[in-house]
Structure 1
Amino acid sequence: MIPAMSASARSSRQASVAALRFGRLAAMGAVAALILIAGVWGSWKTAPYVMLTKGRERGTIEVTRCEGDVCTGPFTPSSPGASVPDRVVIEKTVAVRKGRTYAVVMKPGGEVAVRSGPAGVLYAWVPMGGALLLASVVVAGGLRRTRVAWVMALSGAALLTAAFAAL
């Protein structure tokens, strides 16, 4: 038989359990926040060019050549006063094919273009969709917040599915 614990032993045990619970919540919350911040950071490399197009050079690119990770082709500006660079480069993805024309926005000070329109916006936020899926596992397992985790997972899956369908 286990002897009864004294009141001071019980309170110190409860305090240590509370401290461990707080430590777990703080650590898992920090990991989930870090994952989400990394998702925003990864998405924000191209998202401002696609979403905030006012004052940027817009147009179309007809892909004529693809080598390695990039495709090139002539740029036809659609925004007034846009300069026409000699060579325009777009990232080669599974959705970029030789011989097709894509609506693009030029990154400032260079020859690099990014897809615009709904497909470009969704593609820019793909890293955030992956981060939502990954962080949902941390939120469910580490923070024990299953409803929040389901919302995060479904949001990430919807974003990735919409990007796949749009491209």
Structure 2
Amino acid sequence: MKRNSSGRILDHTRTAATGLVAVLLLAAGFWTSWGDAQHILLSKGREHGTLSVERCAEEVCTGPYTPREPAPGREGVTIEQSVAVRKGEALSVVLRPGTTEALRTGPAGGLLAWMPLGGALLLASPVIGAGLRLTRTAWAAAAAGGLLLLASFLAL
């Protein structure tokens, strides 16, 4: 049975809208991850050191910061509180330029920074599979997102 042109237009519009939703989910996940990951992955020239966690409030933990290179030590350097940050722990960190906000470095910090992308891959996989009818691509996106989240959980 041959389809009329309005049926084909509706089909193409649905596919384009679903593709746009999938691209927006993945772009938002990447953009959110890149905000922290750029400081961890491209850390040359940034201030590295160790943060000794002394106090934790609702959303942030603070403590004294000891730089690796000759630079002044800082009081009140903050790091976002998560399950990976505990009072009394010494963390290897990099400071965001121009702030006293620290980001965890190393494999655990890198994986933690890319967690939003892993979640976005998981969220986009049903859209890719059902909406775009690309089941293999959807399974690959779901597997990549799940592996990224699992690796982050195990590294922390």
| TM-score (normalizing by structure 2) | 0.95
Which structure has the bigger radius of gyration? 1
Matched, 1:29 2:19: yes
Q: 1:51 aligns with which of 41, 54, 61?
A: 41
Query: How much has 1:38 moved relative to structure 2?
Result: 0.5
Number of aligned pairs? 156
Matched, 1:145 2:134: yes
Deviation per residue, 1:46-105 (Å, 9 max, x gap)? 111111110000011111111111111111111x24332232111110110001111100
Query: How much has 1:16 moved relative to structure 2?
Result: 2.1
Matched, 1:94 2:78: no
Q: Secondary structure at the match of 1:110?
A: coil
Cα distance in 2 for partners of 1:38, 1:82 equals 36
Residue in structure 2 matched with residue 4 of structure 1 by the alignment? none
Q: Secondary structure at the match of 1:45?
A: helix
Contiguous gaps of at least 5 residues in structure 1: 1-9
Q: Secondary structure at the match of 1:87?
A: strand
User: AA paired with 2:14?
Assistant: R
What fraction of aligned residue pairs are identical, expressed as a percent? 53
Q: 1:114 aligns with which of 91, 103, 113?
A: 103
Residue in structure 2 matched with residue 18 of structure 1 by the alignment? 8
